A and B are shown apart, each in its own frame.
Chain A
Amino acid sequence: GEDVEQSLFLSVREGDSSVINCTYTDSSSTYLYWYKQEPGAGLQLLTYIFSNMDMKQDQRLTVLLNKKDKHLSLRIADTQTGDSAIYFCAEKPGGYQKVTFGTGTKLQVIP
């Protein structure tokens, strides 16, 4: 079945870049997502990328996709304390309704 793996924890200093990594197993994944969950809240979509893309940039966020290695990363430039949250990677095959989520990476930003 589908599996999405992430490291559980990442700590960075304010102003540095953060890189959160994710690997997935389903080669038919068409959509790959990054969600953010702030304390006590639900998940909020940050960005997504289609599997026919290698990179997507949106302000401070850069998503890189290595389809051959089934590896997805989220880079946050100039990380701020407000970026402290849990970040979930997720994947969905095209034409299918179920999304598979990773375990989440807790990002701690040290002032």
Chain B
Amino acid sequence: DVKVTQSSRYLVKRTGEKVFLECVQDMDHENMFWYRQDPGLGLRLIYFSYDVKMKEKGDIPEGYSVSREKKERFSLILESASTNQTSMYLCASRSISGETQYFGPGTRLLVL
């Protein structure tokens, strides 16, 4: 069965902290994605990666960076967390030839 896991379901951080959100998929997918979900705004793409060590900016990359050192793992980094980064963060993966994106359960981040 397809699986995308995220390291934390809930996270509370303080303004200015460096935050790491981890995502792991077990389907050998080439493409991985990080989204944030906010009420009334839907899902917005932060970054995606189409291969190891490859990354591309999405629609809202400011304040974020990513790392993909291994095919199965895609990390989202908040270099200096701010309160406007309080949100639900969703990771997804998809094979290069597939139609379906598989999502993790999400990490709800609160920045105080």
Contacts and interface: CB of A to CB of B under 8 A. Distances in A.
Contact of A42 (B41, B100, B103): B103
B104 A42 contact: yes
B42 to A, nearest CB: 4
B50 interface: yes
A40 B37 CA distance: 12
Interface residues of A, number: 22
A28 B95 CA distance: 21
B78 interface: no
Interface string B51-68: 000000010000000000
Interface string A25-60: 000000101010000111111001000000000000
A99 B42 contact: no
A42 B101 contact: no
A42 B105 contact: yes
A33 to B, nearest CB: 8
Interface of B: 4, 31, 33, 35, 40-45, 48, 50, 58, 90, 92, 94, 96, 99-106
Given A42-B104, A45-B102, 15 more contacts: A40-B106, A41-B105, A42-B105, A42-B106, A44-B103, A48-B99, A48-B100, A88-B42, A88-B43, A99-B101, A101-B42, A103-B40, A103-B41, A103-B42, A104-B43
The 4 A-B pairs with the shortest beta carbon distances in the complex, nearest first, are: A42-B103, A103-B42, A101-B43, A43-B103
